[in-house]
């Protein structure tokens, strides 16, 4: 599997309403951190996540988290 594009080297802090979301895994979406279909034709697929209640989340911007779609601090260890 190829490496995703680093969209940004920090998380996206967002207040989100309850619902279903699709986090971009490839890093190419123009709607970061959400999927816009830019992964088409690649091995990447978006990560669906659901929120039961409104809350602030920190979604990974470097696309290398071990806890997709949420930031785990991996961006602090990138070259």
pLDDT at position 68 over 70 = yes
Query: Of 46, 56, 49, 62, whose CA–CA distance to 6 is shortest?
Result: 62
The residue length of the chain stands at 79
Q: What is the pLDDT of residues 35-62, one digit of tens each?
A: 999 999 999 999 999 999 999 999 999 9
**pLDDT at residue 61, rounded to an integer:** 98
d(CA 42, CA 51): 27
Q: CA 24, 13, 16, 31 torsion: positive or negative? A: negative
Mean pLDDT of 28-38: 98
3-class DSSP state for residue 71? coil
């Amino acid at each position: 599997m190829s490496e995703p594009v680093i969209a940004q080297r920090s998380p996206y802090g967002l207040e989100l309403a309850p619902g279903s979301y699709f986090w971009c895994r490839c890093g190419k979406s123009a709607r970061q951190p959400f999927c816009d279909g830019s992964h088409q034709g690649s091995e990447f697929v978006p990560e669906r996540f659901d929120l039961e209640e409104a809350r602030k989340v920190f979604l990974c911007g470097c696309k290398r988290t071990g806890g997709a779609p949420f930031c785990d601090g991996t961006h602090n260890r990138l070259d």
